[in-house]
Amino acid sequence: MESHSVTLDVRRLVGRFSLRSTSHVGRVSYLLLEMARAVPEWRIWMPRMFEQASNVGYGSLFIVGLTAGFAGAVTSLQAGYQFTGSIPVYFAAGVIVESIILELGPVLTALVLAGRIGARYAAELGTMRVTEQIDALESLGRSSVSHLVLPRVIAGTLMLPVLVVFADLVGIGAGWVAAKGSLEMTNADFTYGAQYFFKTWDLWYSMIKAFAFGLAITIVPCYMGFSTQQGAEGVGRSTTAAVVSASVLILFLDAALAKVLLKT
């Protein structure tokens, strides 16, 4: 079939797009399968995992704390701005604590880490791909998944809940301090409000979210890094793609998990 403007043929574009997406899905599934198979090789991934985990954990403390602190303080100030007049102050405490635990803590931490470790993973693995280091590893009969992917994925998935706990702590702390300053809220008010709205499930939900986000921000960049092509530009492209798609996936998972897990 001849077409005059090949590039603008919508059917062809759609066809190519869906082909490409389908092959992405296929290759991600294959990577997941390989990861599952590599799990028993813990002697290989375990030590590398600890190296990555300590890097991710300690290296991200500052930026995660900073983000969560500002988020907590601003939530507090805005709650104070909106909740004037007839609504009692302790409501604001509930709003601060709940929004940090349910949404801001996990999502902001995941987004920050998507930028921090997602980009890093994609760039590292992408460079290793284009300089044939991954091929070299494979040529030695070693599994690149258990040497490179699994340590990163497990480290990130383990560390994200840890960092979310930290973010929750800092965020609530900052919110509390800001509330005391701007809303004239007493400690008792804050405690009362926080406890009034809190359900135990909220914290588990936060942890489940962190866990899912941890998988998203590690698997996607590792996959992107692995499928890098064409030199430095390719590394740049897959790094950008990794951060963007990990962030989109976080937002998507956020909505999906809220829908599935938050049945009131």
Candidate ranges 53-61, 64-72, 108-116, 234-242; the one touching other proteins (CB under 8 A): 53-61
Name the minimum Å distance from CB 87 to other proteins. Answer: 10
Candidate ranges 3-11, 63-71, 124-132, 235-243; the one touching other proteins (CB under 8 A): 124-132
The Cα–Cα gap between 171 and 100 comes to 7
Contacting residue, 141, 259, 263, 264, with other proteins by CB under 8 A: 141
Q: 6: Cβ–Cβ under 8 A, 6 or more apart, which residues?
A: 12
User: Is residue 75 a contact partner of residue 100, using CB atoms and an 8 Å limit?
Assistant: yes
Per the document, the length of the chain is: 264
Using the rule CB under 8 A, is 211 a contact of other proteins? no
Name the minimum Å distance from CB 201 to other proteins. Answer: 10
Q: Nearest Cα to 169, choosing from 29, 68, 247?
A: 68
User: Is residue 60 a contact partner of residue 105, using CB atoms and an 8 Å limit?
Assistant: no
Contacting residue, 153, 158, 178, 217, with other proteins by CB under 8 A: 158
Residue type, position 264, single letter: T
Candidate ranges 74-82, 200-208, 240-248, 255-263; the one touching other proteins (CB under 8 A): 200-208
Using the rule CB under 8 A, is 195 a contact of other proteins? yes
Quick one: how far is CA 260 from the chain centroid?
Answer: 19
Contacting residue, 45, 121, 166, 226, with other proteins by CB under 8 A: 166
User: Is residue 68 a contact partner of residue 108, using CB atoms and an 8 Å limit?
Assistant: yes
Exposure string for 194-207, b = 16+ CB within 10 A, e = fewer? beebeeeeeeebbb
Using the rule CB under 8 A, is 5 a contact of other proteins? no
DSSP state of 83: S
Per DSSP, the three-state class of 62 is: helix
Name the minimum Å distance from CB 244 to other proteins. Answer: 26
Contacting residue, 17, 30, 42, 58, with other proteins by CB under 8 A: 58
Using the rule CB under 8 A, is 138 a contact of other proteins? yes
What residues make contact with other proteins under the rule CB under 8 A?
37, 47, 50-51, 53-54, 57-58, 88, 97, 128, 131-133, 135-143, 158-159, 161-162, 165-166, 168-169, 191, 194-196, 198, 200, 203, 207
